Structure 1
Amino acid sequence: MAKQPDQKKVAKAKATAKPAAPKSAVPKPAVPKSAASPAKVGKPRGLGRGLSSLLGDAGVAAATGTAMGRGTGMSQNATQATPSPLPAEPISGLTELPIEWINSGPWQPRRRFDKTRLSELADSIRAKGLVQPILVRPQEGASNRYQLIAGERRWRAAQMAQLHVVPAIIREMSDGEAHELALIENIQRADLSAIEEAEGYRQLIESFNHTQEQLSEIVGKSRSHIANLLRLLTLPEPVATMVVQGELTMGQVRPLVGHPDSVALARQIAAKGLSARQVEALVKSGKSGKSGSPAAAPKTADIIGIERTLADRLGLAVDLNWDEARRSGKLVMRFTDLDQFEVVYERLLKD
């Protein structure tokens, strides 16, 4: 027979025992992973990641996805009456703004917008909507007015596509933050010319005291790349304009930096379609005096005017070389594809 417990001892034990605290009474605080081990302190990277630095990767992805749906809807309703969007507050999400409420920002580094590419983008927006939202900030002292920070090509193309509203992310930011972000966002685009990119770097250095090394970290490009681009800003304006207009590349004009005849050489390079290596050889032979022929005399204003007139009429790069002593010369027209050649060919036969 099992021995029964002493009832007096059991009662005494219950009386002296401490009551257990409920498990939910004092919850144990969770320690975030970031607090468990102190993060290493590094150099501030500024606004180098563009929109990602403002929204976070998830925010950008969500905003882009939402914009895709809204953009498609807007594309289909482009010819209808302007919708009445909700009041746009400076919030962290995505909204729709009437396109006429938005003004271009003053910090755009682009000198020109390619009309053909804008037209292609407008066609895409008509078909599929505006996939990526623009970034704006409320305009100080104005009701229902916003200043464009990032996305001017999309905004211009949306106007060409006759959209009434566009997806936008609204942010409150200072003039300095807006200026810096606008420059960095544009620099990270692949379709800027070398001169436009260099001007963006110069503004970041002069306005925000960035070093070339800091810029390298911010935009994710090598320091040598930035240094080489900044040297291009010493080129004469006619040469810089040829780069902006796509007639010459960075590789073609880099050997011309500091050359006394850079303008004449640039026109020769464009007319003959010389490669970067051929340009380097040409400049080297000219500096060392190994060239078999004397240097060409500077072109007169009349010759330059004729070149420009012919270039405008034909749509081609034109190089006119005139030898005053011999009263003779050579006219070179450079075409980049067969379509351009056919246009010139037909005009010559017609005339």
Structure 2
Amino acid sequence: MGSTCVRIAIDAMGGDLAPKEIVTGALRAREELGVEILLVGDPEQIESVLPPKTNMALLEIVPSEGAVGMEEEPLTAVRRKPKSSINVAMDLVKQKRADAVFSAGHSGAAMASALLRLGRLPGIDRPAIGAVFPTMIASKQVLILDVGANVDCRPKFLEQFAVMGSVYSQYVLGVNEPKVGLLNIGEEDSKGNDAAVRTNQMLRDNNRVIFAGNAEGRDVLSGDFDVIVCDGFVGNVLLKFAEAVGEIILQIIREELPQGLQGQLGCAILKPNLKRLKQRMDHAEHGGALLLGVDGICIIGHGSSQAPSVFNAIRMAKEAVDNQVLQRIQSQDQSLQRESS
């Protein structure tokens, strides 16, 4: 596809099911999305899971040495293992040999590597991990950030998250005028702790976002908001809870369907509806979370990512590149560099 082909660096050694599921999802993305894939990892292990007589067009294996284990302290491991798969993948983006990177490995290591090798965008104090959730409105999604990068957040960090989230929502998720909410314990502007009250006022004063007010927990999936900001502690709890609820609902539906011939007939009738339900609720359908605020497109996948999740994560990365998310966030410098405490 010439010079316009998007190139994605894949940490083939990261994740519980690496490298097989990672490679399988990446190959599917190459075929269906037309992206160039750079598989980073142990060449022998990668080649062992490639299908026989694999066409190597738009496919390259980039050698690395080892991976960061889930039990390792991320920053220490990233510095101690400069040639690990996540570091080599990040270097490909830094060197402009790749347009984006995906890893389903240690999320802390992915963030540490991105910060050390890619650096932050101008005007960004802290990067944030943004995750897309389904809502009660069938065609609508909500972007929540931060879901794990920053346990504690100052008001100006949350303000920056709102600006970055609005850019992503508008240009990748296709929302014309994204409505931003601040996750809080009540709708009133005076609710919450001191940081929440100050953030509320800063968002109201920021003309780069459309602030729709505080969002209570029950509002998260209502569809009333397009972007919701919170600190990474609360966001990560929310993310894991939502994933568990989705899995429980799908499991209950499977268990409660009638057995035997009646159940088979019912499943046949409901199959299109059940498929759409799974697509809306299953976190695997979204593929991963975007690390916003670093100078490169970086998608962090679930540790248990299977091939469909990897495919969707690569699709997400391609959309971010195609829609020039980094350049659009940088264009918001005036807002991002506000002097606020």
Q: TM-score range by the shorter chain?
A: under 0.3
Pair member with larger Rg: 1
The structure whose residues are more often strand, as a share, is 2
TM-score, reference length from structure 2:
0.27
TM-score, reference length from structure 1:
0.26
